Structure 1
Amino acid sequence: MSRRLRLGYPGFFLLVALAMAALMVFLLGAAHGDLQRQAATDARNMVGVLEARLESTLRRAQANLEELAVDVPLEALAPEVPEALREKVRHKLALEARHFPEITGFRLIDRSGVVRYASEIAEPQADARGRSYFELLRKDPSLRLVFSEVAVGRMAGRPLLFMAVPIRDAAGAFAGVAMAPLELSYLQGLFEALDLGPNGVVTFRRADDGRLVMRRPAQPDRVNQTLSNNPMHLRVEAGEMEGALRFQAAIDGVERVYAFKRVGAFPFYVAVGIALPDFLSHWQRDAAGAVGATVLFLLLLGLILKRLHASELRGKRATVDLQASEDRFQQLLGSVGEGICGMDRQGRLLFCNPAALKILGYRSEAALQGRDLPSLLHTHGADGRELVPEACAVRQALVVGTVVHSSDGVFTRADGSRFPVRFDAYPLIKDGEDIGVVLLFADITERRRSEERIEFLAHHDPLTGLPNRLLAEDRFEQARGHAARSGERTALLFLDLDGFKTINDSLGHDIGDEMLKALASRLRQQVRETDTVCRLGGDEFLVILPGVRDLDSLSLRVGKLLTAVEAPVELPGRSLSTSVSIGVALYPDDGEDFTTLMKNADTAMYHAKDAGRNTYRMFDEAMNHQVQEALRLRSNFQRGLAGGEFVLHYQPLLDLQTRRVVGAEALVRWHDPERGMLSPGHFIPVAESSGMIVPLGAWVLREACRQAARWPVQGGQPLVVAVNISAIQFKRGNLEQTVADALSESGLAPDRLEIELTESTLLHQTDEVLATLQRLREFGVRLSIDDFGTGYSSLAYLKKLAVNKLKIDQSFVRDLTSDPEDSAIVRAIVDMAHSLNLVTIAEGVENTEVLAVLRSFGCDEGQGYYFARPMPEAEFRRYLEAAEGVPA
Structure 2
Amino acid sequence: MLYRFLKKRTNDSYRIITATIVLMALALLFFAIQSTWRAWDDFYASAARAEASQAVVQLMDASNIRAKERGYTLALLSGPVAPSDIGQKLEHIYALRQQGDIKFDRAVLLASQLVKKFPENFILRMGLQHVEEVSELKRSARERADKRILGEGGSFPPGEWFDSLTETINHEQHFRNFLSTAMIEAPVKNGAYWTIRNWVWLLSEYAGRERALLARHILTQAPLTESSRYELNQFHSVVEEHIGHIRRIRHEAGIDKRLLDAIEQMDKAISGEYAVARQELYANSLTASYTITGDQWLAIATQAIDSILNVSQVCSLIIEENVAQEKHFKSAMVILFSLMIIVFVFMVKGAISRVTETTRALIEEKKKAELSANKLEEEIAERNVLEKNLLNAQQNFLSLVMLNPTGMIILDTNDRCLFSNPAAQVMLDLEEDGVVTNKRLTSVPYSGRTELDVHCEANLWGIAEAHITETSWNGYPSKLILLHDITTRKTVENEIKHMAYHDGLTGLANRTLFKDRLDQAIKRAKRKETLIVILFIDIDKFKVINDSLGHAVGDELLCKVSGKLLCCVRTDDTVGRMGGDEFTVLIEDVTSPQDADVIVEKIQRELTTTYVINGHVIHLSVSIGTCIFPQDATDTDRLIQLADTAMFHAKESGRGEVRAFRPEMGERFNRRLRLESRLHRAADKKEFFVYYQPQVDLVTKRIIGAEALLRWEDQEFGMISPVEFIPVLEDIGLISNVGKWVLEEVCTQNKLWQERNLTPIPISVNLSPLQIVLQTLEEDVYSVLQKTGLESKYLELEITETALMKSPEACALILQQLVAMGVRISIDDFGTGYSSLSYLKKLPITKLKVDRSFVMEIPDNISDMSITTAIIGLGQSLNLDVIAEGVETLEQINFLRERGCREVQGFYFSQPLPVHQFEELLRAQSVMHVEGNQRFALL
TM range (shorter): 0.3 to 0.5
Q: TM-score, normalised by structure 1?
A: 0.44
Q: TM-score, normalised by structure 2?
A: 0.42
The structure with the largest strand share of the pair is 1
